[in-house]
Amino acid sequence: MNDIHKFSSRFGSQFDFGEPWSIFRIMADFVNGYDALKELGPSVTVFGSARAKEGDKYYKMAQKLGYMMAEKSFNVITGGSAGIMEAANRGAYSSGKGKSIGLNIELPREQASNPYLDLSIKFDYFFARKVMLIKYSYAYIVFPGGYGTMDELYEALTLVQTRKIFPIGVFLIGVDYYKPMLDFIKKSMVDEKTISAEDYDLIRLTDDLDEVVRFTEEQVEARLREMEKLDLTNLTDYARLKKFQELNQYK
């Protein structure tokens, strides 16, 4: 194995040394993701630490929420690994209604998929994976986590803030865990005017799982109304949402 291959195997596929052929690996990530998920109905994405253990408070909450969402026929998407991701997939998988989906990432040290998945997809690139984690969701639900979870949280907030995506719910589950961070955002970022007060209000801090489910159901209705207002009822997405609404007998 030459030095470049040794370096790549140690640090992962993010390092391609400017080789133009790497564009095809990037394209493959997107093509595989879009192809596998193109028929996916309304979903929610759950983020959180891979280090949470079975029996932990937030593991139990994530498992319960996964089940609640799937019972409402929402698909539950996670990063597909252990901890909070496993818990949310486990809850959804036990319901048998909504699908349990894991979007895993190839790492130098193998990140194994959890066993509670109806569909598992592996990605080479973090940025391609994040697009797929966000694209199909009507709520981003963020449990306590580390750097990776923070990266996913602020990516989602930025997309909602800049209106690159429909203004969906961004929930932080874990009042005790996240309140110091929200205090910083409010006292520093808002007060220093690096974000607006409206940007702060994009975040919903709660431990009430019923509130999360209820708001997400309302997002289906809001998306349908917006599409009708814009005369987009001929789109496949509209037909899929309408069918979802009818199957679940939403008002």
Give the C-alpha separation, 86 to 53, whole Å: 10
Q: Is the dihedral of CA 137, 220, 37, 35 positive or negative?
A: negative
Q: Read off the pLDDT of residues 82-123 as tens digits, 9 standing for 90 and up.
A: 999 999 999 999 998 999 999 998 765 556 899 999 999 999
Residues 6+ apart with CB under 8 A from 174: 58, 143, 144, 207
Give the C-alpha separation, 57 to 37, whole Å: 31
Question: What is the Cβ-side half-sphere exposure of residue 135, based on CA atoms within 13 angstroms?
Answer: 16
Catalogue the E-assigned strands of 144-247. Answer: 169-173, 203-206
Average pLDDT value for residue range 57-77: 97
Domain membership of residue 160 (yes or no) is yes
Confidence check: pLDDT of 199 > 90: yes
What's the chain's average pLDDT? 89
Q: Read off the pLDDT of residues 137-182 as tens digits, 9 standing for 90 and up.
A: 999 999 999 999 999 999 999 999 999 988 788 999 999 999 999 9
Q: How confident is the model at residue 9 (pLDDT cuts 50, 70, 90)?
A: low
Domain membership of residue 217 (yes or no) is no
* Structural domain count of the chain: 1
Judge contact between 107 and 79, C-beta under 8 A.
no
- Domain residues for the domain of 173 are 23-209
**pTM (2 decimals)?**
0.88
Domain membership of residue 140 (yes or no) is yes
Judge contact between 223 and 241, C-beta under 8 A.
yes
How many whole angstroms from its chain centre is CA 164? 16
Domain membership of residue 8 (yes or no) is no
Among 112-126, 178-192, 237-251, which stretch is predicted with the lowest mean pLDDT? 237-251
Domain membership of residue 132 (yes or no) is yes
Judge contact between 71 and 93, C-beta under 8 A.
no
Q: What are residue 122's DSSP bridge partners?
A: 104
Among 62-66, 154-158, 174-178, 244-248, which stretch is predicted with the lowest mean pLDDT? 244-248
Q: What's 114's DSSP letter?
A: P
Q: Please report, for the domain that includes residue 183, its CATH number.
A: 3.40.50.450
Tell me the percentage of the chain whose pLDDT exceeds 90.
70
Q: What's 202's DSSP letter?
A: T
Q: Read off the pLDDT of residues 14-27 as tens digits, 9 standing for 90 and up.
A: 555 556 778 888 99
Give the C-alpha separation, 145 to 81, whole Å: 13
Domain membership of residue 44 (yes or no) is yes
